[in-house]
Amino acid sequence: MGKSESSATGADVQILESGKKLGEVIPNIATLLNRNTKRFGEKIVFQEKKQGEYKGVSWNQFYNDIKNIAFNLRRFGYSKGDKVVILSQNRLEMLEFELAIMASGGVAVPIFFNYNKETAEQLIEHSDATFVAVGNGTQLSRIGHDLPLQQIFLFDSYDSIEQPELIKEYNNLTQFDELLTSATDQDYDLNFDASPDDICLNMYTSGTMGNQKSVQLTHKNILSQQAALELIWDIDENDRFLSYLRWHHSFGGIFEIFNALYNGATVSLESSLGTDPAEIMENWKLIQPTVFFSVPVIYQALVDMTLKDKEIEKIFFHDGLKFVFTAAAPLPKNISDEFEKRNIPVVEGWGLTETSPCCTITDPNVKREPGVVGFPIPGVSIKIADDGEILVKGPNVMVGYYKNDKANEGIFTDDGWFCTGDVGEITETGLRLITRKDRIFKLLNAEKVIPTKLESNIISKCHYISYALVEGNGRSYPVALLFPNRNLLNKKGDVIDIDLEDCECPESLDQLSQCLRNCLTDVNCSLKQKFARIKAAMLIDKDLSVEDKTLTPSMKLAPNNVKKVYRAHIEKLYGADKEIKDHVYIIPLEEENE
């Protein structure tokens, strides 16, 4: 599985490819929707929970709604090429609206529904959107009156807005229901002539390393990926998805939802939107999903519930569950083992928003290894640059970043390979991820440190830590900022079932700071490279958040922003006389590192 090419130095470079060839790709979103409506007709495509029951919409109604939305948008001045921002939680209206934009020649721009007013307005302005759709009154209040918008569409009814005076403040506001009225031109249809290379989706990256970038994706980017997955997975119109992943993010908004749409499977929106494990389990009982896409923290909570209740165990690990897919971080071995002993495959993948997003998938028949994310999907090629960066080529790779010359500079090699920014290596069992290229730093002695490895080791060693940041660029040694797992510390909510055999089980931050000394010493001792050992750490009595941009909307650590917000804390660990308002605990480790 793979081939070689000659590098500039004359050495052979291994290229990793799938053993399967990518076949025909549907040309555009409109053609996909039309094809599936003819195939599936009255079958349910999407359903939401209302008054305790799931009620859905058929493919026929779904397609008719999308056509009406696209037709009626023209009454408000919408035309091909227009960019439309969508600021909403997952719901039927959002899905239909977004698909109507993409299937009629426009560019959909979904953004995180819970951004504050400043961030939402910044992204709307950057996007050059002429139209915006919002879910409810809260999101409407984040749309400034001075934005140059032709029209704002509101998914909720006016009657449901808690602040009715808000409605009067906008003279360009229209209820979404008006877009659902029957098209007066019965011959009108979607844009079947759209080129596969036409941009239809601008999706903002999560911004883990700072400012978000708008990724421009085409019909071919999205649909080539689904054509590839069709060759690997056995998913069809009989499958059931229980979905909570947010659609402003590529994992949910491209990978999961288009996988279901492409294959005609039924999507059931999880009513807590992934926020309540108990409610997820109730919905699981109703839907009995055949496949499930999620992140490790949700799997941990759900499996924990099964270990405490035999009836829940039977409901969760039901006979029809084909496989579960995990992304964002490796699934802990104890959780993975629970699926494995019941012969339910755990599939992992790797990719970026820029690659629509999937590049590799693990083979469920191969024993999973930490950090190994499998082989390329059909049509995708991978190789490793001289400096260890993973390079990708394929029909899933973006056109480029929107209005961002600086980010576009050097993002592709001269021979067309996309530079992912991830560092990895090719092994016999597939691609192994090591870290982000821009996270690696050099100490004063020029030795390189991979902070993500240290951060992962700390969190694995102490479950009472939610986030860890290791820094030391240009310094003599690394230090760490640590943020507590309050749910576990306070024993609140559905905490993870973990092995606490050697844990002191602290009940306060003071106790945690004391026992962390031993945990961090163990982490240090496990490192062969003494220069990478942490000399001091700080436990901070404060939570990272999306609001201050120290977390991304997908709840990942945003390292550059954390370093910016907590610059004084880092300086204090290096001996600077800095005043810090937060309650902190400094944990010196010099003695143990000698």
Report the predicted TM-score, pTM, of the whole model to 2 decimal places. 0.90
Of the candidates 370, 430, 434, 433, the one whose C-alpha atom is nearest the C-alpha of residue 1 is 430
**In this structure, are strands 346-351 and 358-361 parallel, antiparallel, or unpaired?**
antiparallel
Q: Tens of pLDDT along 102-126?
A: 999 999 999 999 999 999 999 999 9
Structure tokens of 68?
A: 């009406």
Amino acid 6: pLDDT? 45
Amino acid 594: pLDDT? 44
**Below-50 pLDDT ranges, the chain:** 6-10, 492-498, 592-594
Amino acid 592: pLDDT? 45
Angle at 317 between CA 313 and CA 318, to 5 degrees: 115
DSSP characters over 64-77: HHHHHHHHHHGGGT
**29-40 and 219-232 helices, crossing angle to 10°:** 50
For residues 43 and 261, is the Cβ–Cβ distance under 8 A?
A: no
Q: Which residues contact 350 (CB under 8 A, 6 or more apart)?
A: 327, 358, 359, 360, 373, 374, 422, 431, 433
Tell me how far apart the alpha carbons of residues 327 and 81 are, in angstroms, rounded to a whole number: 33
Amino acid 593: pLDDT? 44
Of the candidates 109, 86, 279, 305, the one whose C-alpha atom is nearest the C-alpha of residue 199 is 109
Amino acid 495: pLDDT? 45
Amino acid 497: pLDDT? 46
One-letter amino acid of 541: D
Q: Which domains occur in the chain, in start order?
A: 29-431 (3.40.50.12780), 440-593 (3.30.300.30)
